[in-house]
Amino acid sequence: MSNKVKKTTQTSTTNDDNNCTVLAMKTVTGWTEKKCQTILSKAGRKKDKGFGITQYLKQSKKIKDVQFTKIAEPNYYRYNNTYALKDFATYRNKGVYYIVTKTHALAIVDGVIVDNLTGRQAGDRRHVQHAWKVTGNIKPNIGKVSKEDTLPKKRYARLDYGEEVIYNGEVIKFRDITLAKKGDLVRVNSQRANGIVVLKFFHPVDNYTITAKVDRAMFEVTKKRNTNIFLDTNIIKKQNKK
């Protein structure tokens, strides 16, 4: 993150995935997460599903006793006509804003970016596509500072496909199931160019795949960098005979 822009993380207290629109509303209003879920559910949002919040706010400029005022696009501009979150937050460092970037929703409260994403996924150069100023009976909830957002930015060795590494981040949960906790050995599915590491887990009962995306800084390599986990078993047997 830029040194000029602060960042906090909005956390979820319910079992609900793909809920950035809910958490952004929780941030700007201060309402409980369940209240936000109920309001968006009545508007058509399905549990564990994304939601077209842009169209909803366009039609519903006022929700309960809270006003959502759309900001005209030319007013996003700041510093070389950029749409970057960090510049929006710097220029509009007073007030509460509900923000939509590409396929994601978050908030800016008095110049602080409040997002449910952390680390590299929560970069401050993402472009603002839509913004609403939020006023009325609100008590913004700005979440908390996340460890992933305070780590020094440095280069880490790239992790290999199938490599076993030590996870040092916060607990990764899916509903009531703990997928990984600090100190666990996990296997890497892939590492993206932006430093995000993809992990895949299998549901112990229903046997479907659960994907988690985590900042590379949350992993520690082991002394034995094993990259053979996902190879065909016949190939592994041949290698062991040599």
CATH number of the domain encompassing residue 188: 2.30.30
Could you give the CA distance from residue 55 to residue 63 in angstroms, rounded to a whole number?
Answer: 14
Q: Answer with the one of 147, 173, 188 that is the final residue of a domain.
A: 147
pLDDT score, position 123? 85
- Residues 149 and 122: their CA atoms lie apart, in Å, by 8
Mean predicted lDDT score pLDDT of the chain: 84
Residue 239 within a domain: no
Tell me how many domains the chain contains.
2
Q: Which region among 21-30, 47-56, 61-70, 233-242 has the lowest average model confidence (pLDDT)?
A: 233-242
Q: Please report the pLDDT score of residue 150 as a whole number.
A: 72
Tell me whether residue 236 is in a domain: no
Q: Tell me, yes or no, whether 66 and 138 share the same domain.
A: yes
**Same-domain status, 69 and 140:** yes
Evaluate whether residue 180 is within a structural domain: yes
The mean per-residue pLDDT over the stretch 13-21 comes to: 91
Q: Check pLDDT > 70 for residue 230.
A: no
Residue 33 and residue 102 in one domain: yes
Q: Is 240 within a domain?
A: no
Element (H, E) at 166: strand 164-167
Residue 38 sits in the same domain as residue 55: yes
Residue 42 counted as domain residue: yes
Residue where a domain terminates, one of 147, 166, 188: 147
Instruction: With CA atoms as reference, report the closest residue to 173 among 143, 136, 212, 223.
Output: 212
Pair (219, 116) in one structural domain: no
Q: What is the pLDDT of residue 1?
A: 47
- Whether 128 and 156 map to the same domain: the answer is no
Query: Is 227's pLDDT higher than 50?
Result: no
Percent of the chain with pLDDT over 90: 46
From 87, 122, 147, give the residue that closes a domain: 147
Q: 236 pLDDT band (50/70/90 cuts)?
A: very low
Query: Does 11 share its domain with 112?
Result: yes
* pLDDT at position 229: 42
In this prediction, residue 77 carries a pLDDT of: 52
pLDDT score for 72? 80
For residue 31, pLDDT beyond 70: yes
**194 and 140 share one domain:** no
Structure tokens at 116: 């449910």
Mean pLDDT for 6-20 is 91
Let me know if residue 1 belongs to a domain: no
In this structure, the answer to whether residues 43 and 157 fall within a common structural domain is: no
180 in the same domain as 95? no
Q: Do 130 and 166 have their domain in common? A: no
pLDDT tier for residue 208 given thresholds of 50, 70 and 90: confident
| Residues 91 and 167 placed together within one structural domain of the fold | no
Q: Domain for residue 238, yes or no?
A: no
The string of pLDDT tens digits covering residues 81-128 is 668 899 899 888 999 999 999 889 999 999 999 999 887 788 888 999
* Domain contains 233: no
User: What domain range includes position 189?
Assistant: 151-225
Residues 6 or more apart in contact with residue 221 via CB below 8 angstroms? 157, 159, 163, 165, 166
Quick: pLDDT tens for 128-181.
999 999 999 999 999 998 877 776 666 778 888 889 999 998 888 887 788 899
> Do strands 164-167 and 219-221 pair parallel, antiparallel, or not at all (unpaired)?
antiparallel
Backbone torsion region of residue 183, taken as left when φ is above 0, otherwise alpha when ψ lies between -120 and 50, otherwise beta: left
User: In Å, how far are 164, 232, 235 from 239, measured between CA atoms?
Assistant: 19, 11, 6
H/E element holding 100?
strand 96-101
